[in-house]
């Protein structure tokens, strides 16, 4: 396996790791299956691209994309908590609505950024180094480290603990005096903020923002969560966050190797599905072989 393949997988593992953490927050922590991710990822790309093209500082543009994601997540949460629309449907509605919103923001389906100064260019210029994959990894590593450290702290605070408990036992959390609706809103906002932030970074790194760049993002995030859990068996909050990054890296590495081996890109979705099935099925089959007790199938 060559270094280039590892480097690209490392970059992707880090940057998409934020999407995975976002998906983890909603699906696992809040038990709120939020599908709006497929819309908030290109939302981040759209906001960043439009602002950068119009001359805004690329760091500010990236921050604005994060803000846009926070707002979109808030709306998804409001649909659920205020209008009592199911979590699944709230996410789907947002995903669909955001497609039009993103088109409106961009004004067209694709905005090239190759001629613009992106955050990556800025960092390269400040450090006086060549803008290559090494720099991409370094910059993204810093961003990811900041957010992972922030979440690692936040989830242990009084507010963060109440948020975590909300997904576990909502009735109990209410009876102990925490507003569970607010906790859900906060969790959805943070999750989609992270996703939009990634969209902004990815758009700048690849040199364009595209209306279709969010397709399959939720599946990718879920696959990474499942791989991270299956491989690393995380227990503490820190290890969970790191397992999200690790799972994303392994997933990306797997895809990149498959591509390198000549797999047509169109087959990658099938590969993803098979990979998730394997990771989920292995523990079950292992138990079956050992003759252990098998829990009934879960439907959520």
Task: Kindly tell me which of 132 and 283 has the beta carbon lying closer to another protein.
Answer: 283
Nearer to another protein, 57 or 174 (CB): 174
Rounded CA-CA distance 51/49 in Å is 6
Quick check: 172 binds another protein (CB under 8 A)?
yes
Q: How far is the CB of 161 from another protein (least distance, A)?
A: 4
Other residues' Cβ atoms within 10 Å of the Cβ of residue 235: 9
Residues 129-168 that bind another protein (CB under 8 A): 154, 156-162, 164-165, 168
Q: How far apart are CA 37 and CA 63, in angstroms?
A: 18
Residue of 26, 102, 180, 205 interacting with another protein (CB under 8 A): 180
φ/ψ of residue 209, rounded to 5: -115, 135
Question: Which lies closer to another protein via its Cβ, residue 124 or residue 162?
Answer: 162
How many other C-beta atoms can be found within 10 angstroms of the C-beta atom of residue 117?
A: 15
Residue 174 interacts with another protein (CB under 8 A)? yes
When binding is defined by CB under 8 A, the residue of 3, 83, 84, 171 that contacts another protein is 171
Q: Counting contacts by CB under 8 A, is residue 173 touching another protein?
A: yes
Site for another protein in 52-91 (CB under 8 A): none
Backbone φ and ψ of 213, nearest 5°: -75, -10
Any contact of residue 103 with another protein (CB under 8 A)? no
Q: Would residue 220 be called left, alpha or beta, if left means φ above 0 and alpha means ψ between -120 and 50 degrees?
A: alpha
Q: Does 179 bind another protein (CB under 8 A)?
A: yes
Backbone angles phi, psi at 178, to 5 degrees: -110, 140
Task: Confirm or reject binding of residue 102 to another protein (CB under 8 A).
Answer: no
The reply on whether position 175 binds another protein by CB under 8 A is yes
Candidates 127, 176, 257, 273; binder of another protein (CB under 8 A) is 176
DSSP readout, 2-57?
-HHHHHHHHHHHHHHHHHHHHHIIIIIIS-----THHHHHHHHHHHHHHHHHTT--
Chain positions contacting another protein, by CB under 8 A: 154, 156-162, 164-165, 168-169, 171-180
């Amino acid at each position: 396996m060559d270094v280039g393949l590892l480097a690209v997988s490392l970059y992707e593992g880090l940057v998409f790791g934020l999407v995975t953490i976002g998906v983890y927050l909603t699906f696992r922590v809040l038990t709120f299956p939020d599908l709006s991710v497929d819309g908030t990822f290109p939302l981040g790309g759209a906001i960043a691209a439009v602002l950068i093209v119009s001359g805004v500082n690329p760091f500010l543009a990236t921050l604005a994309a994060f803000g846009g994601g926070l707002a979109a997540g808030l709306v998804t949460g409001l649909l659920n908590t205020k209008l009592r629309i199911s979590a699944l449907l709230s996410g789907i509605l947002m995903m669909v609505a955001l497609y039009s919103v993103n088109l409106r923001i961009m004004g067209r389906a694709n905005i090239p950024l190759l001629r613009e100064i992106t955050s990556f260019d800025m960092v390269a210029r400040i450090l006086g180094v060549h803008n290559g994959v090494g720099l991409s990894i370094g910059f993204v590593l810093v961003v990811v480290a900041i957010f992972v450290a922030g979440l690692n702290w936040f989830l242990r605070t009084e507010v963060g603990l109440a948020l975590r408990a909300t997904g576990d036992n909502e009735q109990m959390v209410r009876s102990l005096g925490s507003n569970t609706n607010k906790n859900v809103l906060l969790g959805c906002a943070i999750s989609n903020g992270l996703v939009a932030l990634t969209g902004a970074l990815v758009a700048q790194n690849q040199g364009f923002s595209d209306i279709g760049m969010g397709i399959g993002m939720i599946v990718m995030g879920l696959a990474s969560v499942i791989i991270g859990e299956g491989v690393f068996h995380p227990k503490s909050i820190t290890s969970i966050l790191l397992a999200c990054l690790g799972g994303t890296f392994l997933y990306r590495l797997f895809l990149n190797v498959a591509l390198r081996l000549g797999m047509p890109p169109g087959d990658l979705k099938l590969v993803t599905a098979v990979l998730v099935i394997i990771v989920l099925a292995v523990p079950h089959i292992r138990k079956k072989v050992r003759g252990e007790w098998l829990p009934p199938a879960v439907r959520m």
